[in-house]
Amino acid sequence: MSSTRLIFGFHAVTSRLRQNPDSIKEIYIDATRDDQRIRAFIKLAEDQNIRLIASEPQRMTGMAGNRRHQGVAATIDTTRSYVDINDVLDTLTEPARLLVLDGIQDPHNLGACLRVADAFGIHAVIAPKDRAVGLTATVHKVASGAADTVPYIAVTNLTRTLRQLKERDIWVVGTADNAEYDLNDAALNGAIAWVLGSEEKGLRRLTRETCDQLVRIPMLGSVESLNVSVSAGICLFETYRQNAANQNIAPVAVTKD
């Protein structure tokens, strides 16, 4: 299996230059561009001693698979700093905040979820290795650098990983349209892992059954479901809001009277 991957777009490549320049093997730039933005980018790459290759726009479009490369692409080493969720958890000095994505196959959705995760200080995004999109070039482009700032952990067995999180006292909350309780019924303080499924199928059965709690996002209009990245933003903001209001209350299950 190849140990390299192509990323493209100014945000994705610039973020990689600043966060992990040693992972960049070479950078391709549009030979026809000579504007201030590309000149500043070239200087940043030269400061890191990265090899620059001037390429024709048609070749870059062929490499990226589309025309949204903005005249910048890079070949990177796919070796990541984090290979296991425990590598992340063992370094934390605050309650863990995790986002678990069960079966997201659209690279635009994954990229948007990574941006949301970065915005709300999520410590890691976890997803299965199989039946999921993974970190493609399009994901890096849509994530606008968040793919390099938020650790992405691909696991072989998602259910087993969720059980490991529970063993470390991390409250595992899943979303489901038919859940009994609303989002505003949930206590979300302390260590928490949000679990979201694909927009089409939702959570898989075993994933759903492993969650400590299931909640639904209140829907007041005629739309039956939300894009997974929108759902992630709503859930992570509510978690942020509750933690900002009271950081000392541990999560507890919602039970019937």
pLDDT per residue over 106-149, tens digit each?
Answer: 999 999 999 999 999 999 999 998 889 988 888 988 998 888 88
Q: Which CATH architecture has domain 85-245?
A: 3-Layer(aba) Sandwich (3.40)
For the record, the structure tokens of 143 come out as: 């994530």
Q: If you search the block for the tokens 């040693």, which residue do you land on?
A: 22
Global pTM reads 0.70
pLDDT per residue over 152-193, tens digit each?
Answer: 999 999 999 999 999 999 999 999 988 988 998 888 989 999
Query: Which is more confidently placed, 257 or 123?
Result: 123
How does the average pLDDT of the chain come out, rounded? 87
Give the pairing type, strands 72-77 and 4-8.
antiparallel
Let me know if the fold of 4-77 is the same as that of 85-245.
Answer: no
pLDDT value of residue 247: 55
Distance CA 93, CA 29 (A): 41
Whether CATH 3.30.1330.30 fits 4-77: yes
Residues 6 or more apart in contact with residue 103 via CB below 8 angstroms: 128, 131, 132, 197, 198, 201, 204
Instruction: Delimit the domains of the chain by residue range.
Output: 4-77, 85-245
| Other C-beta atoms lying within 10 Å of the C-beta of residue 104 | 26
Burial 63-98 (b: 16+ CB within 10 A, else e): ebeeeebbbbbbbbeeeeeeeebeebbeeeeebbbb
Distance CA 214, CA 129 (A): 24
